Amino acid sequence: MAGTIEREIPLGAGDDVQALPALGRLHEWVVTVDHKRLGIMYIAGGLFFFLIAGLQAATIRLQLAFPDAGIVPPQVFNRLLTMHGTAMVFLVGMPILTGFFNYLVPLMIGARDLAFPRLNAFGFWLWFFGALLLYFSYIGGDGLYGAGSAPDVGWFAYAPLTELPFSRGNSTDYWILSIFLTSVGTTATAVNIITSAFCMRCEGMTLSKMPVLVWLAVVVAFIMLVALPPLSAAQAMLLLDRFLGAHFFDTQAGGSAILWQHFFWIFGHPEVYILVIPAFAFASEIIPVFSRKVIFGYSVMVAASCAIAFISLSVWAHHMFSVGMTPAGNSFFALSTMLVGVPTGIKIFNWLGTIWGGKIRFKVPMLFSLAFLFQFLVAGLTGIMLAVAPFDWQLTDTYFVVAHFHYVLIGAIVFMIFAAIYYWFPKATGRMLSETLGKWHFWLFLIGFHLTFDTMHFAGLRGMPRRIYTYQPGRGLETLNFIESIGALVQGVAVLIFVINVIRSLRSGEPAGNDPWDAWTLEWSTTSPPPEYNFAASPVVRSRRPLWDLKHPEDPDWKYE
Amino acid sequence: MKRWCLTIAAVGCAPVAAFANDWGMGDSNSKIPPSGVFNAVSTPAHEINTVAFFVISITAVIFLIVAGLLSYSIVRFRTRPGDDDREPPQVYGSNPIEFAWTTVPVLIVFVLFLITARTIYTVQAATRPAGAISVHVIAHQWWWEFRYPALGVVTANELHVPLSDPKNPTPTFLDLESADVAHSFWVPRLAGKTDVIPNRENSMWIDPHVAGTYLGQCGEYCGTEHALMLLRVIVEPRADFDKWVAAQKQPPDVDASVVYGRQVFESTACVNCHTIQGTSANGRFGPDLTHLMARETIGSGAAMNTPDDLKVWVTDPNVIKPGALMPAMNLGDKDLDDLVAYLATLH
């Protein structure tokens, strides 16, 4: 048993704040610097905005279910699509994924917290109030009479539509400030994750023995550090334009509209990887456990993720193939974008290699992960189509692109977020989520997803641009759009089942025990939920799968790594 | 049960259907073949299709192989009833296999890149031949202005171009500029889209081989009425095109019976934004109305160009196109009738 976890020492007895009255408990959550509580708050906050932004998407689909429908007026529709997009990226995707990293990274490296717990709390509250600012624009966004409330400039807010002559009132200012604050909060988290992973690993855990998830958390944190500052700079410049008469993007005074696009996409494309690499991270933990096999090609998986991170910084202008770049520029960005496909393909092959020869258990987290593999494959392949710049001239800003990025954002990321919630919920709460409800959730969500987003590809190919509040009859778009809206309804039902499942399981779910999935990483060695200090004694590891070594002393990993 | 569902669906849809009014556009659109990207009738769109079919074939093969392997392994390696509790053999990786599935994609990327670059240069680096038509396209919130500098023609929302014979091509080159925010010029059957960006000149070209009407629309989100910033391209044989140009260059015939309508036009705010050759109206914020009746649609494709729709539009454009920048004119009934009678003579 040499070199494994010291299990003899009694682990923590759980929360002693249970005894406090409600207000006291709330106070404990507000002042907490515990990475687990902050992680849960990030995830809970993200899920809250997921429901709101999801309802906004449902309204969008209702309006588009029929041609020339008058459910919402155009300006309200444009606000819905702007808020839906902005919220889903900054208020849903980012916080849920940083929340998981917050929760899991210290547990997986055998630490008691992140390196800077107070900075962590600071980052969360910046995000929280930034998020509130965005939705507060519905109340406070009115500046001039008739200028409207929430921003209606689209989530990438192309200049000069965001400049004062075209965007009166304060709604765009709320948008700017909200993104500014949430980005600063996220940058703080990035610093924290990198420092923790490099400095706080338990004894025996060299860099090459970190779980894949922790490696990918570090990769994501580095991308955040590089990609978010250009976004914040651009927001500051736009604010200067709007309040102090600077002319960065103000074309009427000689500013450059393209400059904004460069700034935005230098952030915007790495952002896709900031969101999708955590999905890879979850898949790389969940697929091995439910295939009962060690991850295939650990070091190649890590290397491929680093390669994706590097290449992702040089592909931004593939969002701008139609702005009139030179042929050489278009060719460069076509090439760099296609190259991303290589490490991404390697990852899919390695997951396949992990499943191959295993004994697959079809629990809910695995179902979501398997659907992720197929959907991410399709998303990657339509991504290659879009990388072909001439084809992109036809497809950019159409529903084909909408379908493509929802395949990434929902088909890959949201599916893996659900997988991760089903997988780690028992650890965080001590209770299992219901498998039956979980399977209903999975199958309905899968059907709804494909009804909505498979058809969108064809709507795009038939010439339907994105961000239109209506379309005229007689253009062959009616049936496709109606099917898409039905799919949205089915997805809504699935999410409702998920919400019911969470609420029911929190109250009366089956007790989980320490290690319900028979898994191998350190978080499963402590109690569920873990005590505030995580581990009573700092663990000592000798391989990437310390609990495997413990369960299979006759065949430990460290012999082979 | 089924009947109940149908009833609920019918009741749910009724209000939507009741308020929908397409201003005759549904009829008009359905007479035009769908504007799908694969129904190419012009060289740039053809070139795009060639490379598109190539990449679609490659990705389809990749999909079949990888999805097939995934499906096979999910079925083959599932836990079966009666399996023992032993863990399967642990395989940590294999460098030869990793090398193989790195090299093959790199080779595919290499080939795909060469073909892509070739198409990029074919479309973007094309030179302007002597017989080319040049059109100055100016995008506005939310309509299109078309100026033919060499021909002295100004029109809006419906672009007329001559048919281009592949043996003796007469392509049309579009120089794109924006008066306000970023837009994008897109007619899927003719070419890919090119953004129309303020403070920047972009250009693109088309050489339609088949006569007909092609639907297009703004491809970049540009504010409230982005959805109804539509356009039509009318491709006609050279003789018809020349006839159209000649008619456009003439000032409209003066019709004595509508002189009062003309006075209404000249004495209200219309003249601030619109031009009609031969009158005092020379505004440039809105479309040139000199030959308004030569166009099939009004409001940038939002409604058919009929006297009834014109009356609704002049009274309050927001009824047809909410958010349109033209103000409601709120004329009296007689003034409105006379004005529209005058507009109806602008052939």
Could you tell me if A263 and A219 are in contact, meaning their C-beta atoms sit under 8 angstroms apart?
A: no
- Beta-ladder partners of B195: B184
Using the beta-carbon criterion (under 8 Å), do A397 and B182 form an inter-chain contact?
A: no
The yes-or-no verdict on residue A15 having pLDDT over 60 is no
What is the reported pLDDT for A97? 96
Write down all domains in chain B, each with its CATH number in brackets: 15-76+126-249 (2.60.40.420), 256-343 (2.60.40.420)
Tell me the mean pLDDT in the region A323-338.
96
Using the beta-carbon criterion (under 8 Å), do B92 and A251 form an inter-chain contact?
A: no
To test the contact with chain B by mutation, choose from A63, A374, A394 the residue with the greatest count of B C-beta atoms within 10 A, namely A394
Is A142 near chain B, with CB under 8 Å?
Answer: no
To test the contact with chain B by mutation, choose from A302, A401, A472 the residue with the greatest count of B C-beta atoms within 10 A, namely A472
- Look up residue A205 and give its amino acid: M
The encoded tokens of residue A300 equal 């190649």
Is B64 near chain A, with CB under 8 Å?
Answer: no
In which band, very low, low, confident or very high, does the pLDDT at B76 lie, cut at 50, 70 and 90? very high
- Backbone φ and ψ for B118, nearest 5 degrees, come out as -60, -45
What is the reported pLDDT for B32? 94
User: Could you give the ipTM of this predicted complex?
Assistant: 0.93
Break chain A into its structural domains and give their ranges.
Answer: 32-559
For residue A260, whether the previous peptide bond is cis, meaning omega lies within 30 degrees of 0, is no
In three-state secondary structure terms, A417 is helix
Using the beta-carbon criterion (under 8 Å), do A394 and B52 form an inter-chain contact?
A: yes
Q: B227-255: buried (b, 16+ CB within 10 Å) or exposed (e) per residue? A: bbbbbbbbbbeeeebeebbeebeeebeee
Per-chain mean pLDDT for chain A: 93
In which band, very low, low, confident or very high, does the pLDDT at A8 lie, cut at 50, 70 and 90? very low
Identify the helix (H) or strand (E) that includes residue A54. Answer: helix A35-64
The yes-or-no verdict on residue A51 having pLDDT over 50 is yes
Interfacial B residues in 296-315 facing A (CB < 8 Å): none
In three-state secondary structure terms, B90 is coil
Tell me the mean pLDDT in the region A160-185.
92
pLDDT digits (tens, 9 = 90+) for A495-540: 999 999 999 999 999 999 999 999 999 999 999 999 999 999 999 9
What is the reported pLDDT for A143? 57
Using the beta-carbon criterion (under 8 Å), do A322 and B89 form an inter-chain contact?
A: no
What's the length of chain A? 561
In which band, very low, low, confident or very high, does the pLDDT at B21 lie, cut at 50, 70 and 90? confident
Could you tell me if A302 and A337 are in contact, meaning their C-beta atoms sit under 8 angstroms apart?
A: no
What is the reported pLDDT for A560? 84
The yes-or-no verdict on residue A559 having pLDDT over 90 is no
Is B72 near chain A, with CB under 8 Å?
Answer: no
The yes-or-no verdict on residue A14 having pLDDT over 80 is no
Is A49 near chain B, with CB under 8 Å?
Answer: no
Tell me the mean pLDDT in the region B93-121.
95
pLDDT digits (tens, 9 = 90+) for A372-405: 999 999 999 999 999 999 999 999 999 999 999 9
Using the beta-carbon criterion (under 8 Å), do B322 and A466 form an inter-chain contact?
A: no
The yes-or-no verdict on residue A197 having pLDDT over 80 is yes
To test the contact with chain A by mutation, choose from B193, B201, B232, B321 the residue with the greatest count of A C-beta atoms within 10 A, namely B193
**Interatomic CA distance for residues A426 and B129, integer angstroms:** 70
In which band, very low, low, confident or very high, does the pLDDT at B202 lie, cut at 50, 70 and 90? very high
Beta pairing class for B212-217 and B230-236: antiparallel
pTM over 0.90: yes
Using the beta-carbon criterion (under 8 Å), do A335 and B91 form an inter-chain contact?
A: no
What is the reported pLDDT for A147? 53
Could you tell me if A243 and A200 are in contact, meaning their C-beta atoms sit under 8 angstroms apart?
A: no
To test the contact with chain B by mutation, choose from A158, A321, A325, A393 the residue with the greatest count of B C-beta atoms within 10 A, namely A393
The shortest C-alpha distance from A125 to chain B (Å) reads 33
What is the reported pLDDT for A6? 45
Side-chain-side CA neighbours of residue A359 (13 Å): 13
The shortest C-alpha distance from A40 to chain B (Å) reads 33
What is the reported pLDDT for B1? 46
Interfacial A residues in 470-529 facing B (CB < 8 Å): 470-476
Tell me the mean pLDDT in the region A283-310.
96
pLDDT digits (tens, 9 = 90+) for B119-173: 999 999 999 998 899 999 999 999 999 999 999 999 999 999 999 988 889 999 9
Interfacial B residues in 163-222 facing A (CB < 8 Å): 180-182, 184, 186, 188, 191-195, 197-200, 202-203, 215, 217-222
In which band, very low, low, confident or very high, does the pLDDT at B20 lie, cut at 50, 70 and 90? low
Is the CATH code 3.40.50.150 the one for domain A32-559? Answer: no
What is the reported pLDDT for A13? 43
Beta pairing class for B303-304 and B297-298: antiparallel
pLDDT digits (tens, 9 = 90+) for A97-125: 999 999 999 999 999 999 999 999 999 99
What is the reported pLDDT for A12? 44
pLDDT digits (tens, 9 = 90+) for A278-289: 999 999 999 999
Distances in Å between the Cα of A59 and the Cα atoms of A64, A76, A432, A470, B272 are: 9, 10, 33, 13, 39
Name chain B contacts of A160, Cβ cutoff 8 Å.
180-182, 198
The yes-or-no verdict on residue B11 having pLDDT over 80 is no
Name chain B contacts of A341, Cβ cutoff 8 Å.
105, 109
Q: Is the dihedral of CA B247, B249, B250, B252 positive or negative?
A: positive
CA B101, distance to chain mean position in Å, is 42
Tell me the mean pLDDT in the region A43-70.
96
Find all residues with CB under 8 Å of A413, minimum gap 6, and list them.
A93, A97, A275, A276, A278, A279
Using the beta-carbon criterion (under 8 Å), do B181 and A78 form an inter-chain contact?
A: no
Expressed in percent and rounded to 5, the helix, strand and coil fractions of chain A are: 70, 0, 30
User: H helices within A87-211, ranges in order?
Assistant: 94-108, 117-140, 171-199
Of all residues in chain A, the percent with pLDDT exceeding 90 is 90
In which band, very low, low, confident or very high, does the pLDDT at A561 lie, cut at 50, 70 and 90? confident
DSSP state of A334: H
What is the reported pLDDT for B19? 52
The encoded tokens of residue B340 equal 């529209």
A1 compared with A86, residue with greater pLDDT: A86
Closest CA to B63 of A234, A377, A309: A377
Could you tell me if B247 and B294 are in contact, meaning their C-beta atoms sit under 8 angstroms apart?
A: yes
